[in-house]
Amino acid sequence: MSTTSIDGTKEPQGHGPLSASWRRNLSSVEALEMANVLRALRKVVGHLGTNAPEVEYAGFPSTGANSIFVDPARVMGTYPVPHETSDVLIGEVVHEAILGIEWTDRVRSLLVKHMSGLGMIELVKFQRMVSTGEHIYADAVLDGTVLGAYASKARRHALRNSWAVRSREKSGFSYDTLMLSWIQASFLDGGSHTVHKGLARCMDVLLDLTASLARIAGSSRGQVFRCEERSSLYLKAWSALEPLVRDVPVIDRRLVWSPGDDPSPARKAPGHRLGTQAHPACTEDLVRRVELELARSSSDLTPLVRAALGGDDGDVVPISRWDYRVSAHPVVDRAMAARIAAVFRIYAERRPRLSRGLAAGRVDGRRLYRVPLSGRCFFEREAHKEMDWNITLLCDASGSMRGAKWKTVESTIATICKALEAYRGMLNAYAYFENDGVCMLSSLLEGGRLFAVPPGGRTASGQAIIAAGLLMPSSNRRRLLIHVTDGESNYGCSVQKGIDFCRAQGIHLVTIGCGCHNRRLIEEQYGDTIEFLDSYRQLPKALEHLFRRVFVYGAKPGKPARAALDAARETLPDKG
């Protein structure tokens, strides 16, 4: 192949698999390979523009109202999925995406009022002509591009299957065969299927329609104009075609769309209801494993949280990573930053390390042969400081955090970040809030810069704790999750499930309640992992004592450093 781009304008040469040059994420594991194929389909469709529909597996949980649904059985059985199969699937989803982008729904709605006077058989024939014409138009839009090459492969595959079905029928020539011959003659796809001599005039009418549709496909006019032009062409073509096919039998007498309903394309699997029932070819376990693989590289954390809770928790609400942020303008307390940095340096874990080949020290029996050469036959044991802990700050950014509270949180995060700026990767900070029924989790630190989010919505503390724990690196020996909030959790799964998750994962969880009004209710939710401060002004000093307590005495996972926060109260005023 002469091209490596999947969105170019020149069709690649050769007859080999088109996707072999770029689809490199392959796996012999069923769930991982199914996830890889779906990512590849989404990647290709994404090149069609921002208004391209989402691609989903039929029967999998989904919220896409206009998604393209792919039968998962098409990719099951052989792993990795052959590139030829990938090419056909890519061509099919690209073709369906173009039908949506080019507003096929709009064309059908414009034609509904002209179908009221048609009989049932005439209505079936008219709809079949319009549907076939839209398929030809969609391929004409893609013609001459790399994506058009994928659509061509899918079209040839569909034609082979359709002709195989027609060849087994004993009814002779039919309207169905005429439509297949029209598609094949429009693109000269493999072989020749002659049309009945009495219906040669029908093919002339249809090929004239193909030429007109191709001209519209290359037009620079807007979508509304192209839809109106196509609907006019179909009406004109039908007036010429209807007398010629009046006595032609129809094998498949099903309507393409119902004139009385919303004429949306039938891109959904028959009988499929979103997110309610798995596809017959997929077990619930397979659906869950594919969702997990997809979630690892997406912004949707819901499948990961659901899996962490065992997969059967009905209180789990949608939770997603969110990148819309604004720059923060905190006030950094440099004196406190220096004290926190000293805590990390002094109480870092020491690990023994041998330094060999020295000129003085203890004799190294394995280096005695160097005595006559250089005399460097000594070694020393040194205590190496390993900064192996990982700290994550999880901040409540619900509606009650607006104003001075959030400014204090920003300044506290900036102070800790300043203290740890020499130790890359040790500190992460997230904020969570609810928007339109979704718990948003936003990273506040990126590239050494501190960001802020607009506080708002409800408090989904339980799920936020689980999501932050999932995002923490698992290689660090000491992991500390500090949760800062000002109220009880009132959305999503319970806080206790978040606490249990942290204990199971060996994460030190400490929740600091600042300025809470109903402490009794919050204590019922957090148990012995909550500590209260009277004011946010105490927060920076309390965190300094907390770090000292955890690193010196080693708090057990899930248990609070109570003495640290008690010490903070002794050094600060009782009231803010």
pLDDT at residue 275, rounded to an integer: 36
Least confident range from 49-53, 63-67, 108-112, 215-219: namely 63-67
pLDDT in tens, 402-454: 888 888 888 888 888 888 777 655 788 999 999 888 999 999 988 778 898 88
* Residue 522 pLDDT greater than 90, yes or no: no
Q: Where are the domains of the chain?
A: 19-100+269-282, 103-241, 351-386, 389-571
What is the average pLDDT across 443-472?
89
What is the average pLDDT across 327-350?
80
Q: What angle do CA 178, 184, 189 make, to 5 degrees?
A: 160
* Residue 182 pLDDT greater than 90, yes or no: yes
* Residue 355 pLDDT greater than 70, yes or no: yes
pLDDT at residue 5, rounded to an integer: 35
Handedness of CA 516, 519, 521, 524 (dihedral sign): positive
Confidence of residue 509 (pLDDT cuts 50, 70, 90): confident
Least confident range from 130-144, 382-396, 431-445, 541-555: namely 541-555
pLDDT at residue 536, rounded to an integer: 64
Q: Which of 315, 326, 106, 102 is nearest to 219 (CA)?
A: 102
Cα dist from 8 to 44, 58, 142, 152, 419, whole Å: 12, 30, 11, 16, 49
Task: Output the CATH code of domain 389-571.
Answer: 3.40.50.410
pLDDT at residue 13, rounded to an integer: 46
Token digits for 340? 């926190």
* Residue 176 pLDDT greater than 80, yes or no: yes
Coil vs helix vs strand at 361: coil
What is the average pLDDT across 315-336?
85
pLDDT at residue 75, rounded to an integer: 92
Token digits for 213? 């549709």
* Residue 538 pLDDT greater than 90, yes or no: no
User: What are the strands, taking DSSP E only, across 331-485?
Assistant: 349-358, 362-363, 378-386, 389-396, 427-435, 438-443, 445-446, 449-452, 478-485
pLDDT in tens, 276-306: 345 566 888 888 889 888 888 788 888 889 8
- Burial zone of 300 (CB within 10 Å; 0-12 exposed, 13-18 middle, 19+ buried): middle
Q: Which of 440, 560, 556 is nearest to 512 (CA)?
A: 560
Cis omega (within 30 of 0) on the bond before 61?
A: no
What is the average pLDDT across 195-211?
83
pTM (2 decimals)?
0.70
pLDDT at residue 359, rounded to an integer: 87
Query: In terms of pLDDT, which residue wins out, 509 or 268?
Result: 509
DSSP 551: H
pLDDT at residue 63, rounded to an integer: 58
Least confident range from 71-75, 127-131, 346-350: namely 346-350
Say if residues 35 and 294 touch (Cβ distance below 8 Å): yes
pLDDT at residue 174, rounded to an integer: 86
Mean pLDDT, the chain, integer: 81
Say if residues 434 and 401 touch (Cβ distance below 8 Å): no
pLDDT at residue 197, rounded to an integer: 63
| Amino acid at residue number 27 | S
| Residue 200 neighbours by CB under 8 Å, 6+ apart | none
pLDDT at residue 554, rounded to an integer: 55
pLDDT in tens, 237-248: 999 999 999 988
Least confident range from 23-27, 97-101, 205-209, 345-349: namely 345-349
Say if residues 18 and 146 touch (Cβ distance below 8 Å): yes
